[in-house]
Amino acid sequence: MKILNKRIHIRVATGVATGAFLFSIFASITWFYISYHQEVDRSRSQIKQVITTIEQTASIAMYLGNKELAEEVLRGLEANDIISAARLTSQDGLSASFSGNSDLDQADTAIIFPIVSPFDENEFVGDLLVYPNQRYIENNAISLAKIQVIVLVFYSVIIALLTLIIVNRILTEPMKNIANRFHIITPGDTTRIEVPVGHKENEIGALVSDINGLLDAVNNQIDNERDLRSETENLSKKFRFIFERASAGIGLIDSGNQLIVANPALLRLLGQTFIVDTDRFSKTDFTGYFNDPAEIKEFIEEFWLKPGNQFSAMDIQLKHKVRAADRWVHCLFSKVEDINNPDDSLLEVVLYDITERAEREQNIIYEAEHDPITQLLNRRAGMAKLEVSLQEADKKQRKFAVLMIDLDGFKHVNDTYGHDAGDKVIIEVANRIKQFFRGSDVVARWGGDEFLIGFSYNPNYETAVSDIASDLQFQIALPVEIGHEQTACVGSSIGISVYPDNDEAISALIEQADEAMYYVKNNGKNFFRFYQAEEATASANR
């Protein structure tokens, strides 16, 4: 700061000196030019005054033709230093002249004065030619101009020095003192700048007052910032504690679905199904932690398109870890938008482990859709799945068979061996039926001892349904162990309807298969039959 102050002092002095020097040069040149021309004009005026004094005598000399008198007039002019030569010439041929000590220059210009008659102002009797002493006039003019320029330069230097001293004393020195004092004051210091003597009521005093006010405001701001920082640090510690100790998994996802922030609970939750390096988890694909990445990716993309800062949630299964049970999480998404930089917006995600709840819900749904004894689909769930399976078969241009199976001799088993034995027979028959069909096929317990089967097949395989029905009857007829080294045997009556040969509605196909099954029951049992139109009459009679 001291170096800076010296520089300011030097700059002020240099500025004043330079200004004075430039002004002196300009003023000197101007003043020299003016003084020179003024002196030249004054010399010419003196010549005219001299001619005026001798004009009457010269007029008489020319009128009388008196050469002696004419020469006397010229001797008077010769005595004047500003005239180098002169010549009188009359109308009658009289001529008198002098040329002084120096030869005339060809460039010298003569001044011609007409001489009028002493008796008649309108009559000219001759001419007076006067050659000014140009060198003498110029030397006098230059000498006088130099003296005036020297005086002007001296005045300028004196004024510049006085100005520098006054500016330094009144402005520069107080400003240097203020700057040096201000330099040693540190933020938060209670020391203030004193007003220089004699400057309390002027602009310097006002400047010092403003600086002290600014220092007070800075100190207040520092105190406020310290208090705010302390409060912020306390809140930060609390939020960090909540973030790190929260039971729910919390994280931030960028626009590329990259996980950039995660609390320990989220890492533990994701680590149960996917190995996560807690030190290097950042910038990993969040959707890769789930069993169906495409599903959650599509969900997130749709959520980004929603206007405003809305919330959205979904339940989804995490990716399986080797030999680990399924785990389900509830994901709650919300936007963390940056108004100034929309491209930097993030998604906040909160994950809750809902595995137990999901298992309970799945168990409830399973129990609601499955028979408690055979674990096959019940009638309601089987009907819904038949509708879907029939639509899929239609899209793939495949045929669809509906088989209605009723056990023969099952009542005898219940009556003879009891209901426990009957349940064992039902369970074993259900297991034997399931082994014939795919997971996409429909196998349902339709009633007490009735089963409904629905499956699609290639229309080019004409005997597919017959072959399956024949094998089913063979497997169902095998003995079933019911305990105590006892076995029971049941048969089966099977009615069959085919889409689209018999009908296109699933309810009609079921009804037709049921009619064909009753036709078998009424005509000897233990065989299968495709629906025929005459079964409708038999069913009506029944």
Judged against a pLDDT cut of 50, whether residue 478 lies above it is answered with yes
In a domain, 152, yes or no: no
DSSP 242-260: HHHH-SSEEEEE-TT-EEE
Decide if 483 contacts 424 (C-beta within 8 A). Answer: yes
Report in angstroms the alpha-carbon separations of 23 from 27, 33, 200, 337.
6, 15, 34, 65
Regarding whether 381 and 507 lie in a shared domain, the answer is yes
Judged against a pLDDT cut of 80, whether residue 539 lies above it is answered with no
Q: Which of 321-325, 382-386, 403-407 has the lowest mean pLDDT?
A: 321-325
In a domain, 521, yes or no: yes
Judged against a pLDDT cut of 60, whether residue 1 lies above it is answered with no
Can you give the pLDDT at residue 105?
56
Judged against a pLDDT cut of 70, whether residue 91 lies above it is answered with yes
In a domain, 163, yes or no: no
Can you give the pLDDT at residue 89?
85
Regarding whether 350 and 281 lie in a shared domain, the answer is yes
Judged against a pLDDT cut of 90, whether residue 53 lies above it is answered with no
Spatial separation of the C-alpha atoms in residues 288 and 266, rounded to whole Å: 14
In a domain, 296, yes or no: yes
Report in angstroms the alpha-carbon separations of 346 from 251, 252, 280.
10, 6, 20
Pick the more confident residue, 371 or 283: 371
Regarding whether 282 and 204 lie in a shared domain, the answer is no
Report in angstroms the alpha-carbon separations of 427 from 77, 141, 377, 380, 494.
163, 144, 13, 19, 18
Spatial separation of the C-alpha atoms in residues 405 and 382, rounded to whole Å: 14
Spatial separation of the C-alpha atoms in residues 410 and 374, rounded to whole Å: 15
Which of these, 63, 95, 97, lies nearest to 77 by C-alpha position?
97
Judged against a pLDDT cut of 70, whether residue 108 lies above it is answered with no
In a domain, 414, yes or no: yes
Q: Tens digits of per-residue pLDDT, 117-168?
A: 888 778 888 888 888 877 887 788 788 778 877 887 787 788 878 877 887 7
Last residue of a domain, one of 327, 355, 383: 355
Can you give the pLDDT at residue 534?
64
Regarding whether 393 and 505 lie in a shared domain, the answer is yes
pLDDT band with cut points at 50, 70 and 90 for residue 370: confident
Last residue of a domain, one of 305, 321, 355: 355
Q: Which long-range contacts (CB under 8 A, 24 or more apart) does 160-168 make?
A: 160/16, 160/17, 160/19, 160/20, 163/16, 163/20, 164/12, 164/13, 164/16, 164/17, 167/12, 167/16, 168/9, 168/12, 168/13
DSSP 114-180: EEE-SS-TT-EEEEEEEEE-HHHHHHHHHHHHHHHHHHHHHHHHHHHHHHHHHHIIIIIHHHHHHHH
Report in angstroms the alpha-carbon separations of 398 from 313, 393, 459, 534.
39, 5, 6, 26
Last residue of a domain, one of 88, 113, 138: 138
Angle at 7 between CA 6 and CA 11, to 5 degrees: 120
Q: Which of 213-227, 272-286, 395-409 has the lowest mean pLDDT?
A: 272-286
Regarding whether 202 and 312 lie in a shared domain, the answer is no
In a domain, 168, yes or no: no
Find which of 39-43, 76-80, 270-274, 518-522 is predicted with most confidence, using mean pLDDT.
518-522
SS3 category, 109:
coil
Regarding whether 378 and 341 lie in a shared domain, the answer is no
Which of these, 319, 252, 305, lies nearest to 283 by C-alpha position?
252
For the domain that residue 516 is a member of, what is the CATH number? 3.30.70.270
Spatial separation of the C-alpha atoms in residues 440 and 455, rounded to whole Å: 8
The radius of gyration computed from the CA coordinates of the chain, to the nearest angstrom, equals 64
Region 38-61: what's the mean pLDDT?
81
Can you give the pLDDT at residue 3?
42
H or E element at residue 335? strand 328-336
In a domain, 144, yes or no: no
Spatial separation of the C-alpha atoms in residues 314 and 304, rounded to whole Å: 15
Number of domains in the chain: 4
SS3 category, 80:
coil
Spatial separation of the C-alpha atoms in residues 176 and 4, rounded to whole Å: 9
For the domain that residue 53 is a member of, what is the CATH number? 3.30.450
In a domain, 328, yes or no: yes
Cis (ω within 30 of 0) for the bond into 342? Answer: no
Regarding whether 97 and 23 lie in a shared domain, the answer is yes
Regarding whether 501 and 405 lie in a shared domain, the answer is yes
Task: Provide the residue range defining the domain that includes 348.
Answer: 251-355
For the domain that residue 286 is a member of, what is the CATH number? 3.30.450.20
Judged against a pLDDT cut of 60, whether residue 276 lies above it is answered with no
Regarding whether 215 and 129 lie in a shared domain, the answer is no
Regarding whether 231 and 262 lie in a shared domain, the answer is no
Decide if 108 contacts 84 (C-beta within 8 A). Answer: yes
Regarding whether 208 and 127 lie in a shared domain, the answer is no
pLDDT band with cut points at 50, 70 and 90 for residue 58: confident
Regarding whether 379 and 348 lie in a shared domain, the answer is no
